[in-house]
């Protein structure tokens, strides 16, 4: 499945595509619109149709009109259940001008809220967790308010990487582009109206690196 195409999908479209693949793996026939609505947790059949048209435009599937089970997934090898990973959504990360408190990612083991993604999108799922972005400081990095950010714990963060940083002296976390400058960290927003700020490296802990972003809209 084409990684670039998947990265452009919204979360409902990701869920629909994953559900279709799982359903076809288990039943050898495509699901109906109503089965997709219930299985992917979509609010209405009209919204299912709306997202299916988006998947058609992305050339990820075709639809045979006037047929109840008229979906054709444009993939020579359908995704098996082992190709779908469940990533826990553990809380909120601020993309605002100032950091705010956020749950510790250690709570991921207890999280009941998950997002299902194609393994081809994230690779090895070990150490992955998800956060809901809040604020507009990262809009130029295509991270908008309400998007889901997939994080890799204990990742090697290089200068310029997007990362979640926990500020020990404030007990707060923030999502910014990180630069190491001697004993300081430069935390740079991706919004032309906001300026970078600096923190002492000994007062900061990098919690994870951004792997990908799932758009909610």
Q: What is the DSSP secondary structure assignment for residue 149, as one 8-state letter?
A: E
Instruction: Return the closest-CA partner of residue 176 out of 216, 208, 128, 214.
Output: 208
Chain position carrying tokens 């994953």: 18
Torsion of CA 169, 174, 177, 181, to 10 degrees: 0
Is residue 134 part of the annotated active site? The answer reads no
Alpha helices by DSSP H, listed for the chain, are: 3-7, 11-27, 33-40, 45-57, 119-122
Strand order of the β-sheet with 204-214 is: 114-118, 84-94, 128-134, 148-153, 204-214, 162-167, 172-181, 184-188, 197-200
Please pick, among 15, 18, 137, 173, the residue that the annotation labels catalytic.
Answer: 137
Cα angle: 98, vertex 148, 81; to 5 degrees? 155
Look up 120 and say whether it is catalytic. Answer: no
Catalytic residue among 18, 173, 176, 188: 176
What are the residue numbers of the active site?
Answer: 137, 176
């Amino acid at each position: 499945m084409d990684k670039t195409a998947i990265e452009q999908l919204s979360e409902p479209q990701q869920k629909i595509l994953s559900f279709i693949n799982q359903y076809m793996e288990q039943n050898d026939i495509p699901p109906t619109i109503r089965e997709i609505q219930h299985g992917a947790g979509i609010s209405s059949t009209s919204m299912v149709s709306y997202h299916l048209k988006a998947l058609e435009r992305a050339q990820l599937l075709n639809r045979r009109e006037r047929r109840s089970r008229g979906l054709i997934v444009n993939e020579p090898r359908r995704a098996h259940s082992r190709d779908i990973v469940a990533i826990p959504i553990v809380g909120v990360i601020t993309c605002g001008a100032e950091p705010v408190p956020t749950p510790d990612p250690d709570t991921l083991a207890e999280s009941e809220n998950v997002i299902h993604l194609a393994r081809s999108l994230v690779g090895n799922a070990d150490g992955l967790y998800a956060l809901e972005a809040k604020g507009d400081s990262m809009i130029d990095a295509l991270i908008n308010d309400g998007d889901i950010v997939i994080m890799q714990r204990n990742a090697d963060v290089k200068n310029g990487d997007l990362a979640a940083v926990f500020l020990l002296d404030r007990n707060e976390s923030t999502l910014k582009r990180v630069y190491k400058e001697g004993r300081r960290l430069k935390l740079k927003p991706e919004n032309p109206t906001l300026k970078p700020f600096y923190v002492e490296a000994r007062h900061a802990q990098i919690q994870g690196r951004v792997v990908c972003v799932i758009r909610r809209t």
